[in-house]
Amino acid sequence: MFLSELQNKDIVSTKDGRKLGRIIDAEINTQGRIIYLIAEPKRNIKKIMISAQETKISFDDITKIGEDVILVNM
């Protein structure tokens, strides 16, 4: 699977069901393995003017990668 395919999926927390955003980048080690996925925060009308922090998601926290959604245990 390519990173560009992962970027089209929403990231959803399995603990509370909230959307965490979408993948914008990945951190890769020297062996070519993904360490972290970096997610852009979900934007809404209230927070559009406030800059939010990006979220680092450890590859070990991913529970399931589906057709439309990536489930994470966060």
Contact 65, 11 (CB under 8 A): no
Task: Please tell me the predicted confidence (pLDDT) of residue 63.
Answer: 95
Looking at residue 43, what is its pLDDT?
62
By CB neighbour count within 10 A (0-12 exposed, 13-18 middle, 19+ buried), where does 44 fall? exposed
User: pTM for the complete prediction?
Assistant: 0.77
Give domain limits for the chain. 3-72
Give residue 1's pLDDT: 75
CATH class of 3-72: mainly beta
Phi and psi at residue 9, to the nearest 5°: -105, 145
SS3 51: coil
Euclidean distance between CA atoms 11 and 66, whole angstroms = 10
